[in-house]
Amino acid sequence: MPLPRCLFDASEPVDHDLRVTSGTWPAGLGGELVLSSPHPSTFGGPHPFFGEGMVSRLSLAMGAHGAPADALAWRQRMLDTPSARLRAARPDVFEATMIGVRSPFGHVNAANTAPLPWGDRLFATWDAGRPVEVDPLTLTFLGEVGHRGEWLDFEVSPQPLLPMVMTTAHPVIDPDRDVLWTVNTHWGELHVVRWDGEGRLQRWPIEGAAIPQSVHTITQTRDWLIVADCAYKVEPQVLSGGARTEPANASEPVHLIRKADLEATPPGQPVRCTTFELAPEVNHYYATYDDADGIGILFEHTEAAELSMVQGPGDLDALGRPCDPALAGLYGFPMAPDRTTYLVVDPATGAIRHRAEQRDPERLWSRQLNAIDWSTEGRARPTLHHTVHLGYRPEAITQEMLALYGDRVDRSLLPGEEIAPRVVTSSMPDLDVVADWELGVDDLPTSPIFVPRDPGVDPAASRYAGSDPGGHDGWVVVPVLNDAGFRVEVFDAAAVGAGPIATAAAPGMRLPFVLHSAWMPRAVSTRGDGRERVRFADELDRIGELPDDLQREARRVADDLADAAPPGG
Ligand SMILES: [Fe+2]
């Protein structure tokens, strides 16, 4: 059975109310599931990762946010950023390229990859644009993080109003400092950025920290930040329509930066780091917050997964069949079985002191994200790591991708047919598979979340912590795409192998392509909370570079945004 074709369903996003279709919805399950996605109606070009951002929110308690008493509210909205508003006003001047959607205004900030909660605040992130703050209640735009002049932008073509900022879709919130850490890469150099939630950014260049490809994640321990080069490669000739000549790098530098060194150094001055080399390639990685016994990092390797190439007309899939035009634009799925490792690194030398590895070519392919207890206590002492694996999907691998990776793909491991998706629980830190649930081969599970039991019950614990943190006490909630209808499955986090304890769905609901998800304990409005935010109207100093008609549109967008968010809001 094929991948769901609803992946690229470009229908207008609409709200839904989901009802329980099997099992019993757990009484203690609550809070909000939030998801980020690039909506297919705005892909408009070579890669789905460039579609404009949508945020969806599912309330996990019945009867919230306008849903009937026996239903769960699914609410979704295209983000009304300055980029989206300008594109809506003048679609004729926007052009899709292999590095995003550009225009005389500059580059669209798609803000489509991951929701990032910070207390009651919510941000939508992207690798090639500033984080965007969103009102968690109304899902409307509040502001971009940091004035454009505080970032190093990547201006290969004029960007008078919309800068392309190379950063990461996965910043982290430091629970001890209550600040956001992220990166700003610039022509292969790494800069670390700290933002206190209001006001100016602080930025430090990291001495000798090369980034040969890109950065998709930053992770942290109590005392350290960890940044790896990531396996998303853009070769220069591809930007002008040329073909790829090299696969993503097979190994990558990982840089360890001590937070105390940053704090002891004036912003703008270089800070040293420790570097080690990691193989195989990676995009997502998560450090254990407690670093008393070394820096422990879980690496979800993306071995031989060609994310920056997509399939199109004339391509053949891994089984030699013509690719289906309905999947045109789909990026490459892994051509190797999943490999997950947990390393404990000596921060002084970069030497690896401990290594656990999980790999199961018979069952585990195409790991698609995870469900983690993101509370401070859960990150300090993780007990279980839950992952969703999409299975082996020959439709999502082309012969061109296989040829590009050559002998980096062990063809003897490629299954001759589809392998079904699974929800898997692994022990920490040994990565033993302790639970495993197989879904249907026509299902496409997507980014799951962990919801703790009794969040907030311990006044001495952090707000996101349940009564027994770590990842075992609560629920794993998995959105599942299927052409027969979208559904949400709920598992007991301690017993994923027993299968879902409840399923919810809405008649006729089909959800397209989704990227990351997150859990928040509640959704309250943060508009008008008095925080200082960057306003588009404050970023018009280069508006004179535009022709008169585009200047008028930009001023109108700035006025509309000012009306929507008065001073202090
Ligand atoms: Fe990601």
Residue 252 lies in a domain: no
Instruction: Put the strands of the sheet holding 340-345 in their side by side order.
Output: 282-287, 295-301, 340-345, 352-358
Ligand 1 centroid to Cα of residue 114, in Å, is: 7
Ligand 1 centroid to Cα of residue 126, in Å, is: 9
Pairwise CA distance, residues 176 & 492, whole Å? 30
Ligand 1 centroid to Cα of residue 170, in Å, is: 7
Cα 476 off chain centre by: 18
Ligand 1 centroid to Cα of residue 285, in Å, is: 10
* pLDDT in the model for residue 567: 53
Into how many domains does the chain fold?
A: 1
What is the pTM assigned to this prediction?
A: 0.97
Ligand 1 centroid to Cα of residue 559, in Å, is: 34
* pLDDT in the model for residue 268: 98
Ligand 1 centroid to Cα of residue 213, in Å, is: 15
- pLDDT greater at residue 325 or residue 237: 325
Residue 413 lies in a domain: yes
| 487-507 mean pLDDT | 98
Question: DSSP label at 3?
Answer: P
Ligand 1 centroid to Cα of residue 367, in Å, is: 12
Residue 389 lies in a domain: yes
pLDDT digits (tens, 9 = 90+) for 243-298: 889 999 999 999 999 999 999 999 999 999 999 999 999 999 999 999 999 999 99
For every residue of 394-424, which 3-state class applies, written as one string?
A: HHHCEHHHHHHHHHHCCHHHCCCCCCCCEEE
Residue bearing tokens 């300090």? 380
Residue 61 has pLDDT above 90, yes or no: yes
pLDDT digits (tens, 9 = 90+) for 338-380: 999 999 999 988 888 889 999 999 999 999 899 999 999 999 9
Q: Which residues contact 51 (CB under 8 A, 6 or more apart)?
A: 37, 38, 39, 40, 41, 42, 43, 44, 110, 112
Residue 445 parent element (H or E): strand 444-445
Residue 1: pLDDT band by 50, 70, 90 thresholds? low
Pairwise CA distance, residues 129 & 50, whole Å? 11
Residue 45 has pLDDT above 90, yes or no: no
* pLDDT in the model for residue 413: 96
Ligand 1 centroid to Cα of residue 557, in Å, is: 30
Pairwise CA distance, residues 33 & 119, whole Å? 14
Ligand 1 centroid to Cα of residue 513, in Å, is: 14
Residue 385 lies in a domain: yes
Name the residue range of residue 409's domain: 1-30+304-337+360-515
Here the tokens at position 496 are 């994923």
Q: What count of other Cβ atoms lies within 10 Å of the Cβ of residue 258? A: 17
What's the whole-number average pLDDT of the chain? 94
Residue 313 lies in a domain: yes
Pairwise CA distance, residues 114 & 170, whole Å? 7
Ligand 1 centroid to Cα of residue 517, in Å, is: 10
Ligand 1 centroid to Cα of residue 499, in Å, is: 26
Ligand 1 centroid to Cα of residue 440, in Å, is: 24
Minimal CA–CA distance to 253: which of 272, 233, 234, 226?
226
Here the tokens at position 490 are 């709920």
Pairwise CA distance, residues 105 & 513, whole Å? 28
Pairwise CA distance, residues 294 & 279, whole Å? 20
pLDDT digits (tens, 9 = 90+) for 417-441: 999 999 999 999 999 999 999 999 9
What are the residue ranges of helices labelled H in 218-280? Answer: 236-239, 259-263
Pairwise CA distance, residues 74 & 54, whole Å? 13
Residue 160 lies in a domain: no
Ligand 1 centroid to Cα of residue 90, in Å, is: 30
* pLDDT in the model for residue 569: 47
Ligand 1 centroid to Cα of residue 186, in Å, is: 20
Pairwise CA distance, residues 437 & 429, whole Å? 21
pLDDT digits (tens, 9 = 90+) for 102-131: 999 999 999 999 999 999 999 999 999 999
Rg (CA), the chain: 22
Ligand 1 centroid to Cα of residue 113, in Å, is: 7
Ligand 1 centroid to Cα of residue 128, in Å, is: 13
Residue 122 lies in a domain: no
Residue 287 lies in a domain: no
Residue 565 has pLDDT above 90, yes or no: no
Pairwise CA distance, residues 164 & 150, whole Å? 13
Ligand 1 centroid to Cα of residue 540, in Å, is: 31
Q: Which residues contact 205 (CB under 8 A, 6 or more apart)?
A: 189, 190, 191, 268, 269, 270, 271
Ligand 1 centroid to Cα of residue 183, in Å, is: 14
